[in-house]
Structure 1
Amino acid sequence: MDPDKVMLLRMLIPTISLIGVAAVGGWVLTTWMRIKNGYPLDGAWGQAVYPRKNEEAVERIRLLSQENAQLRAELGSIKDRMANVERIVTDSGYALTHQIEALRDQVSN
């Protein structure tokens, strides 16, 4: 290769790489500022990536939150019922009643 071309490349490579680093740094900075200030991000073709807030999504979130609250209430009542069943089964009177019923079954057979 020609020594003049090598010298020219040695001078241009740091400049080109500096421009590239500055471009990437600027892109990162502007993206961070958009996120920080709540602006939507752009995709490859300029479409908004986030946040997509339309009425359908807001309504869906409201319905899901309502269903979640209903399911939590139902789960609480099931836990209470399960605690009562556990108390009855572990109660010594239940075991005694069960033994008496077993003896009655043996006598009747």
Structure 2
Amino acid sequence: MGPFEMVIGIVLIVTIGSIIRAKHGIRRDRHGNDYVAANDAETKALQAEIRALKERIHVLERIATDNNRAVSLDQEIEKLRDRSLP
């Protein structure tokens, strides 16, 4: 195999790889990191879900850090445990 054939082989392999990546929607950002391109509707739905989860976490943190509420929550959990034991 001569150098010309080797160059053609390398170009062919890279081209086929690029076609496969494009077919699966895998793209590269300007830093060379791979990511899967998603459509706008899916991106907006995921962003809305993340926003809702962050709000839930905020509420849970507020419940956990509120001292009076945490004590009463502990007592309620213990009551439920006592009730579940036969």
TM-score scaled by structure 2?
0.46
TM-score scaled by structure 1?
0.38
Q: Which has the higher contact order (CA 8 A, sep 6+)?
A: 2
Larger radius of gyration: 1
